[in-house]
Amino acid sequence: MDISIFGLGYVGCVSLACLAQNGHNVIGVDLMPSKVNLINQGKPTIIEKDIDSLIAKNWKNKKISATQDFKEAVLNSNISIICVGTPSNAQGHLNLNAIYETARQIGEAIAEKNSFHIAVIRSTVLPGTNKKVGEIIEKASGKQRNQAFAVVSNPEFLREGSAVKDYYNPPVTVIGTDNNKASKVLAEMYRGIDAPIEETNIEIAELIKYVNNSFHALKVSFANEVGNICKNLGIDSHKLMKLFCMDDQLNLSPYYLKPGFAFGGSCLPKDLTAFKTMAHDFYLESPVLNSIMDSNEHQKKKVLKMVLDRGAKKIGILGLSFKKGTDDLRYSPVVDLAENLLGKGSSLLIYDKNVNISKLTGTNKVYIDKHIPHLSELISDDLDHVVENSEVIVISHNEPEFDCINTRYPDKHFIDLVKIKDGVSAGNYEGICW
């Protein structure tokens, strides 16, 4: 393929070298003559492991070149990859001027082309940028999106120091576009890369890098706070975290990373509080650990507000225990929700077959009688009775019997805390954070 790359900084230089190594003809574009000159001498614009040999080899083989002339680059390529910088201002907002200027240049060049062109946004940008880039190209070219050109969001996952290795071994290749033809071309461009190709909608492709890097930052801070506590306890923090990382069922896994309601139960709140107390006893500042419970409480308040904002008095709750498949009510965030609703004057009905059984058999009776006796009489084993006699129903457990319940009762409003089903879309249904 014939590819142009706008921006010969870190991402652009690595992409230039690796795409050429994979057999493509690549022309780089940059405003700085020094970068253009380096590429045209077979030299990289950055310091990075293996990049110098790749650039030298593919320059010698006439697979790479560079220019300051954007029209020359676009007219001699079918794909233009945007890798220009997106610096932050003092308030944290991105400066996307370089992205938009590049889009204008691509549009001007496309105006002189008859063939279909694909613009690929590789830079890290906010959701909505892809749409804006398409509008700018349409205005500059006088041509319509998805007829004369397409815009693809294709975020990079490169780390400085191992960028070439990361290019060839990404965790996933993300392609976000509204054009099937462009999606197939990009998949072909990345053929041979050791990673699954995940086609998704544009907005997810634009946001994923921010989520990734924020989580990476969180992990660094979390590990540091753990290390600070370990040092005061005389414990080897590196051995501890090595053991921590061996758990790929819970610790390093998709488990727990599903947006929804607050955590609860007998373990997480208790052990988190104990760990925070250790830090406090050593006079250690642990802002990450200290903020976890605050965030959890915020999620509880969010659901309470969602329910109260409906203006209904009759509320049903499907699932009272802290998670499905158990009757454990200790530190259940749903119990907190129920008590707050009662305190606000709501009329409440609760369906939880496991809690109802344990209430009758005595398994959970002591806890219910001591801590929430006022909820005991509100718990029913009749799902239809609870739903039929409620105006707003909160779903807190992902049970098969709740599947499509909103379609069975179109006159009721459902607030889902667990995402009972993908693709639910109805006027009487809303998710807590989806």
| 83 carries an active-site annotation | no
Query: 122: phi > 0 → left, psi -120 to 50 → alpha, else beta; which?
Result: alpha
- In this prediction, the residues of the chain whose per-residue pLDDT falls under 70 are 356-364, 371, 423-425
Catalytic residue among 18, 83, 267, 433: 267
110-132, pLDDT tens digit by residue?
A: 999 999 999 999 998 989 999 99
User: Whole-prediction pTM value?
Assistant: 0.84
Question: Which amino acid is residue 282, in one-letter code?
Answer: F
Q: What is the pLDDT of residue 358?
A: 62
208-265, pLDDT tens digit by residue?
A: 999 999 999 999 999 999 999 999 999 999 999 999 999 999 999 999 999 999 999 8
Stretch (H or E) spanning 270: helix 268-281
Cα–Cα dist 57/79, whole Å: 22
Q: What is the pLDDT of residue 196?
A: 93
Long-range contacts of 328-332 (CB under 8 A, 24+ apart): 328/265, 328/266, 328/364, 329/355, 329/364, 329/367, 329/368, 329/371, 329/372, 330/264, 330/265, 330/266, 330/367, 331/264, 331/265, 331/266, 331/268, 331/269, 331/270, 332/264, 332/265
- 3-state secondary structure at position 177: strand
Task: Say which residues have a Cβ less than 8 Å from residue 21's Cβ, sequence separation at least 6.
Answer: 54, 57, 58
How are the residues of the chain apportioned to helix, strand and coil, as percentages rounded to the nearest 5? 45, 15, 40
Q: What is the pLDDT of residue 425?
A: 64
Domains 2-200 and 297-431 share a fold: yes
Q: Cα dihedral sign for 268, 274, 279, 283?
A: positive
- Supply the Cα-derived Rg of the chain in whole angstroms: 28
Which CATH number is 2-200 given?
3.40.50.720
Q: What are phi and psi of 419, to 5 degrees?
A: 60, 75
Cα–Cα dist 100/135, whole Å: 10
Which CATH number is 297-431 given?
3.40.50.720
Cα–Cα dist 168/159, whole Å: 12
Q: What is the pLDDT of residue 87?
A: 83
Q: What are phi and psi of 92, to 5 degrees?
A: 95, 0
Cα–Cα dist 308/80, whole Å: 50
Starting from the edge strand earliest in sequence, which strands make up the sheet with 314-318, in order?
A: 379-380, 347-351, 314-318, 392-395, 413-416, 429-431
Cα–Cα dist 11/225, whole Å: 32
Q: What is the pLDDT of residue 381?
A: 86
Domains in the chain: boundaries: 2-200, 202-254, 297-431
How many Å from the N-terminal Cα to the C-terminal Cα in the chain? 39
